[in-house]
Amino acid sequence: MGCTTPWPTAGSAPKPRPRPAESGGCAMSDTEETIVHYASGNVREAMFAALRAAGHDPARLRAEDTNEADHLHLGGMHTTAWIADTLALDDGARLLDVGSGMGGPARYFAGRGATVTGVDVTAEFVDLATELNRACGLDGAVTMLNRPGQDAGLPEGSFDAALMLHVGMNIADKAPVFAEVFRLLRPGGVFGVYDLMGTNELTFPMPWAITRESSHVESETAYRGYLEGAGFDVQRSMEHRDEVLARAALMLQQGGAPLSGALILGEDVVLRRQHSIEAVRDRQVTPTLLISRKPE
């Protein structure tokens, strides 16, 4: 008898997220682990309630109205802006966002002139991102697809640049994802990977995983190996540790906000964030942007 997992569906009542040990002893794939961790069935309702509480109409928005709620990486939307400045994409660039979540970075890049395609395995996020794109008037510039990063099903060489923000920690087998990105980029295309790189011997829960078994943090050396194995030339490595710690301290002073990552991180959001910031402070992990290029 095969293993089955009852994924939450949009509009269903929120359910406790199962830990890996609660899956009946069945080994879960990266995709299944990610869906179990992030999907809840009520993300849309939570987002819209937070938007209304902040005085926004969910049907008519600006991209910045969602604040930090859809920039689910350390440093939030300030880091998104830093990455955009660093990549310096030309106006009209075709950008692939791997693990696009609720679409905050995709909408930010679209606001700077890019045409963005996002792929994500969590259907609940893809549906909400599509609705938010429309509310922001960006549905012509941003397309969201419910597909895995290792098999996006898109034409070869169809992007000028690609982006992956805090996704690798959810992927045990990174090599096929990087190989797919390499296939999808045109010659000379740039690939920016922003992840926490270091050891997986951490204190859990973390924002991206409940247990060590479902976390897949790896070293910068390992990332370089995967990228070079896919054919990329790794050109730059940029640490973002000091900026992340400063931003975390500022957000702590300002207190909690409805439009934040707490929308999807659950009741233990404070503990998860504390663990992640302590890991950065103790240099167990380092927020790192690796910039690679597909050879001409």
Q: CATH number for the domain including 192? A: 3.40.50.150
Q: How many residues does the chain have?
A: 296
Asked if residue 132 is part of any domain, the answer here is yes
Asked if residue 111 is part of any domain, the answer here is yes
Tell me the mean pLDDT per 10 residues along the chain, length 296: 30 35 51 63 90 95 93 92 95 97 96 97 96 97 97 98 97 97 98 98 95 96 98 98 90 63 74 93 98 98
Asked if residue 5 is part of any domain, the answer here is no
Q: Is the peptide bond between 20 and the residue preceding it cis, with omega within 30 degrees of 0?
A: no
Asked if residue 188 is part of any domain, the answer here is yes
Rounded to whole angstroms, the Cα distance separating 254 from 161 reads 35
Asked if residue 4 is part of any domain, the answer here is no
Asked if residue 6 is part of any domain, the answer here is no
In the chain, the number of structural domains is 1
Q: pLDDT value at position 17?
A: 38
The token pair at 136 is 């922001």
Asked if residue 122 is part of any domain, the answer here is yes
Note down the domain range covering 105: 20-293
The token pair at 51 is 């938007």
Rounded to whole angstroms, the Cα distance separating 20 from 71 reads 26
Q: Which residues contact 57 (CB under 8 A, 6 or more apart)?
A: 51
Note if the pTM is more than 0.85.
yes
Asked if residue 287 is part of any domain, the answer here is yes
3-59 residue pLDDT tens: 322 223 233 333 333 333 333 445 666 656 665 666 667 899 999 999 999 999 999
